[in-house]
Structures are given as C-alpha cells and as structure tokens.
Structure 1
C-alpha cells in the first residue's frame, strides 16, 4: 500500500532560505540542444528528477554522452546528430521529453519507438505528428497518444509547417528545436491564435539562441528558423519557477518570508507571473486566466480556497491533459474538504473562498492522482488545516525530489502515517 504523509500546521510564520531545484523546462531543452550540438556542453544548476533522467537516458541511447559529475550538473557531448536506439525509449510520464524527442527522432536513420507509462499513453500527441508528416517525417500513433513510431531519414529538408498548439505549446517547441537541424530554412506557424502557455515558446527560442540557432518571428504566430544546427555551450540554469510558487504561497499562508534564491522578476519562466497573484492573497482578483501559467494553477487554487472572495479560473482546458485531469481533480479534492468549495464550469473552475475554512473533523487523505503538482499544491492545505494527509507523496520525484525535505527545513512537521 502506498505511503501517506501527514502535514501539520506549523502554527507560526515560515521564515528561511531554500534551494529550489533547477528549472525542468530549461533543463530538458538544454539537454536536447546540447545533445544535438557537436562537442561538449556543461549544464550547471540543472534539475535531477524523473523527467530529466528520462531525457538523459534517451539521449544516451541515441549516441549522446551524458555525464553527471555532481547533483546539479550534466556534461553533454553530442555528435551533431542522433542515432536510432536499439530498442524503444521509455519516458514514463515526461511530457517534455516525449514531445521533444518525437520530433528530434526525425534526425536518426531508422525506426524510433517512444513510449511511456499508462498516464503518458493518455496524453495527446496527434497535432505534432500531423505537423511532422507535413515536413515529410513518417510518424504514427494509432491512438493519437504514445506509443509513437517514427521512421527517421537522417534529417529534414525544410519548408513551412502549420501546427495546432491549442493543447500544448510543446508541439511548437519540438518543431522549432528540430527546425534548426534542417537542410533549408523552416517556417513554423500556428493554425490559430490559441496556444497553451506561449511563454514556453519564448523559453525555447532563448535556449536555441544560446546554442547558436537563429530564429525570428515573422508574425504573431509564426517563426522562421535558419538551418544553423547547434553549437555547444555552457549554461547556468535558473531555479524552477513552478517550484517557487509553493514557497511563495507558503509565505502568504503563514505570514512568513522565504528566500528562494532569485527575485520573482528575474525568472524567465512563465509561471513566475503567478507571483503577483500570490502576493495579492487574501484579496486575489475575481477572475484569473490560467492559460499562460498552467503549472502554477494548482498552487493558486489552494490559495483561492482561503481567499476573502470567490475566484473564477479560466483558460484551463489544457489542465485536462496534464499528468492527470487537474481541473477535475482539484475540484474533487477541494470539495472533499468542504462541500461546494469548488465547482467545474466547462473548462473553468470556480473556488468560493473561505478565509475561516474549518479543518476536517477527522483525518482526510487528499488524493494526488500520481501527479506531482497535485501533491505539492494540496500539501499547502496542511499549513493551515489540521488532519490533512497526502497520498502517494513520492510522486513529487517527477520534478522536485526534495520537496518534503524543503518543507521540513522550514519547520513544517511531516508524519508518515501509512506504509
């Protein structure tokens, strides 16, 4: 039976300094680009977690040398391309690795099969495969989700491709990173105005530039990428902004002060925009568009449960195809704390807000759905409410293996209730 972790209210302000893990988004982009370069790159401050280990293991299987001299460093030596692996690549539930490597597999000579766990097998990848097909890359996934089979032809010619990024900006990022390795320029364009978390595309373009690629915007939803390939570089990776949101929320919930090592305005990741909303607690705005800071939404929802007034979260369609259906899961778990505390309205979530939310009369086990962000955000309830426990706490290893140790270092008492 899986472990259950009790979180006790500290009864005081949480004050201290914490070391956040490196950005997952930047680490996985940098690993791939370093792997596509010819030569050696050193990535410091990197995240070592399930998601980045899957990426590193896959690159090793495709002919890239990836060394790990310490707990936060990757040394990557690429050959200027990728080899077809000798067997399927298993990537767990790592969405970034799966989408990015599906595109990059076009550079191999031969068949590449990319698969994941039961959760990844429910996460759509069809729009990316349609775009690859338009570029002459044969890729198929009978269910529209992994497993994916790609037949690499040793490269990519060039041209123009349109992609529907309404479900995920990762489709766009995957194509942009591949495009720099083409033989001719590639133009990547959105089929419509909708794009999940556009800021992550900017993150991709910034990483590509650091590794020597040239890409320019040709319109509000189009980019032209030159066939430069990539060159190695040394990169210091900033802390993870999504992880920072839990610490910023813990500050507000306890009246504390937690130094995460980087001012909020210095983060380049989209989720850092959540800081202003967190800082407004307990007077958060009545309407919050979560479409451009999707991984911060669970944190904001927990804060909204204690807000002085109701909060309506919109733009949440993409949350239904994350590690779990986060929109539905958040609604269910909040209602388990108090009936009517939250409700779904299409792809929106309304949280009524209860500054004096009473603690459960008996132990309540909040489910995490094997989703790291559900576990880390729901644990914040335990900073104010007695009798809160988190199921399957180990799922945080996906992006923040030291999360529970970090809370404990601030003085939060944690109890293993069941093993």
Structure 2
C-alpha cells in the first residue's frame, strides 16, 4: 500500500489559494448537459476521478466532452450512442445513483458496476421508487446494489406518483429530480415525487433544483414533501456555466485559519453560492474565527480568545462537518456532531473510521448510530519525533482531514494517499506549499 508523509510545520504562512471546482455541481452539470441538443461551455469544471467517470458515462448519451484551457465544452452529437453499454463507476456514489436513474428511461440494455465498496452501498429506496414508474432494473449479486442490469422500460402506469424515503441520502432525491422530466417528455404524463420522511442534506436538493431551472425545467416544490415537474421549454438548453469552488475541499484550508494565526485567503468562494457547505463559515465564526466574505473570496484568521465548544446538527452538511473533528485534536476544544447517519454509507463507514483513527492520536471519542463526540488534549502531548500512520480506508475526506494535523508539527503518514484523486488530485501539493 502506497503512502505519503505530509510535510510537518508548526506555522502556516499567510497565502492566497483557490480550491478546485465543486464535485457536486460538476457531476450534475455534466450529466444534464449531455442531454441538451446544443453546446454547453463549462468553466472551472473539476478534473478528478469522479468527474472523469461521469465524463466517460456521457458517451452513452451521445455526448462528447472536450477541454481547451480554461474551459470545457460538452456537445450532444446523437440521440444515444449505444443501446448496449457497460459503465464502470469506480467508487462514485453520485454517478451510481444518477446514472442508474437516468439510463432507466432509455430503451436499451446497460450494465453498471464498480469497485467493491460501491457494490456494498445500497440503492434500495431509489430503485423501489423507479420500479413504481415501470423501470426494469435487476441486481446481479446483492439485492438493490451494484452491479445492476438496466433493461428497456416495462409497461408504465397512467397515473404516476413516486414515493421515496428522503432520510437516507439526498442523492436519491437528486437522481429522481433529474430524471423525472425525461419521463414526462417520453411519456407525456405528469409525475409527482412524494417524500414520506425527513429530507437529509437539503442544500444539495436545492442545488439540483437551481441547476435544473437554468437548463429550462422547473420543479415545483411544496415544502419538502412534494415535488412536481413542469417543463417550461420544448427542450433542455445548454447555457454556459462557471463552476463554483468546492466548499468541502476548501474546508481543510479554512480549518488552518482556525488553528493558526496566519491569514488565509480563498479565491472564488463568495457569499452568493448554491452550496450548503458554506454554512461552515458560520460555524467557524461561532468558534472564534474572524472571517471576511467578499463577492469573490473569503479571508480567515483565528482570533486570540479561546475556541468555544461546539454542538451542531449536521443533517445539511454531513461531508464538510468531518474536518471539525480535527479541531478537537489541535485545540482541545470539545465537539459533538449529530445527524450524521449517512456517514456510514459513504466511501467507507466514516463514523467507525474517524473513531478508530482519532483514538490513535489520543482523542476520547464516543459514537453512536447518528452522532460522534470528541475531546482531546492539545497536540503538544503528541511525540513529534515519531510518525503516526493514518489508515484512510480508501476515503478521500479522511486522508485530507488528517493531513491538517501536520500543520502542528506532527509527522503524519497517510496510507493509500492516492484516494484524494477522487475529488482533489492536487491536495498534497497545495497543502505542502502552505507550510514553511
């Protein structure tokens, strides 16, 4: 197993950096743009394993993606390139869910598969909803998991009301919201999506609705229980998009501003964005950071007073909340996070993984089905002459979280460090460039 020793430093120099483009926006736009009959220009599209998987998948929709710095373009060439395709999805949960839904409305035979972990991540709630429409999806091994065979549509009911449990993953809702307009156009029937539970990660659903609207389709939302499709254009349109910087990727630099005294400025992150993870800025303010937000950047530095303990419900920000646990190790500030049941269904069981790795560093951790609490002595108690091996479990966010510890002069060896290629391939280069 390959590893990397992060560059230890007790000081982070003030610097200006730019995080990569948002993975959530990039993958949504790639899929939706592949359905448009016109050329779409994409600026600051994320270039990573996850987006490359989605780019390869767009070929199944007859689209082609071309890159000419600094922009990408995606152009629809044919209605559908192949009626028979095998798509490798790696460990990309976003691709697995959105493509399973989208391909189900085409009259073809498709086989979706990936790495072992993606074969363990369930799709049961979403597949149940799709089957009520009349889709023909069969699993190969484990029920309601990849690998999946997707076959031509079966008989479709006249009146369609799709039920979905929204408490497991917002990606299920996103996948259905993106595909329901396609069903309406193909079938000529109105389709209603009914959510019968509390919706998790609501900002990601809001993001999907905003992007769909820009492409010529509006989904009427009635609270968080009912969604109905309404096509306002004869076909999808392909405007130009500038992809926002990824707040989740930027969070590791924001935390550096919290635990170090040097200023950090992050470009292309502003108050007016569609990512719910921007709420992290509000959390850091509560903990004692001084933050200045302008139209084009965020500047952050730690104030002199002691950081305050934190208790927060993370239903809307499950991914970005992970890095807050590193704060407890560096500052001895107690932190309690709840509403994180979805951590168990990510690239690994993040609740278990974070608990095990934090305990290696002397953090007192208590966790349950839906929460984790942590308290630690400052990093000054760690032996800085030794090296601490961190197992990433193949999870990119775990790798980046624990790399932050090296800013306190601790030698950290990240095992299977290449997993960061999923969303932030240049992370170690940019992170080490901040250390003096």
TM-score (norm 2): 0.88
Report how far residue 373 of structure 1 moved: 0.4
For 2:78 and 2:126, how far apart are their aligned partners in 1?
23
**Equivalent position of 1:40 in the other structure:** 39
**Equivalent position of 2:211 in the other structure:** 207
Q: Does 1:29 align with 2:53?
A: no
For 1:210 and 1:154, how far apart are their aligned partners in 2?
31
User: How does 1:217-366 map onto structure 2 within 5 Å?
Assistant: 217-227=221-231, 228=233, 229-279=235-285, 280=287, 283-338=307-362, 340-360=363-383, 362-366=386-390
Report how far residue 278 of structure 1 moved: 2.7
- Name the SS for the 2:18 alignment partner: coil
- Name the SS for the 2:111 alignment partner: strand
1:282-322 Cα shifts (integer Å, max 9, x gaps) = 53443111221111122111112234442211111100010
**Equivalent position of 1:216 in the other structure:** 220
Report how far residue 8 of structure 1 moved: 3.6
Report how far residue 153 of structure 1 moved: 3.5
Q: Is the 8 A contact 1:22 1:45 kept in 2?
A: yes
Q: Is the 8 A contact 1:135 1:161 kept in 2?
A: yes
Higher mean displacement: 107-116 or 145-154 = 145-154
- Name the SS for the 1:291 alignment partner: coil
Q: Is the 8 A contact 1:35 1:79 kept in 2?
A: no
* Structure 2 stretches lacking a partner, 5+ long: 289-305
- Please provide the CA RMSD for this pair: 2.1
For 1:60 and 1:256, how far apart are their aligned partners in 2?
46
For 1:32 and 1:178, how far apart are their aligned partners in 2?
10
Q: Does 1:393 align with 2:417?
A: yes
For 1:357 and 1:315, how far apart are their aligned partners in 2?
31
**Equivalent position of 1:410 in the other structure:** 434
Report how far residue 12 of structure 1 moved: 2.1
Q: Is the 8 A contact 1:333 1:366 kept in 2?
A: yes
For 1:276 and 1:82, how far apart are their aligned partners in 2?
45
**Residues 116 and 206 (structure 1), Cα distance of their counterparts in 2 relative to 1, 3 Å cut:** same
Report how far residue 400 of structure 1 moved: 0.4
Q: Is the 8 A contact 1:81 1:108 kept in 2?
A: no
Higher mean displacement: 110-119 or 300-309 = 300-309
For 2:125 and 2:22, how far apart are their aligned partners in 1?
26
For 2:270 and 2:343, how far apart are their aligned partners in 1?
24
**Equivalent position of 1:417 in the other structure:** none
**Residues 216 and 299 (structure 1), Cα distance of their counterparts in 2 relative to 1, 3 Å cut:** same
Q: Is the 8 A contact 2:167 2:200 kept in 1?
A: yes
- Name the SS for the 1:300 alignment partner: helix
For 2:282 and 2:145, how far apart are their aligned partners in 1?
36
**Equivalent position of 1:416 in the other structure:** none
Q: Is the 8 A contact 1:289 1:315 kept in 2?
A: yes
Q: Is the 8 A contact 1:44 1:73 kept in 2?
A: yes
**How many pairs align?**
408
Report how far residue 214 of structure 1 moved: 1.4
TM-score (norm 1): 0.91
- Name the SS for the 1:260 alignment partner: strand
Higher mean displacement: 102-111 or 240-249 = 102-111
* Structure 1 stretches lacking a partner, 5+ long: 413-419
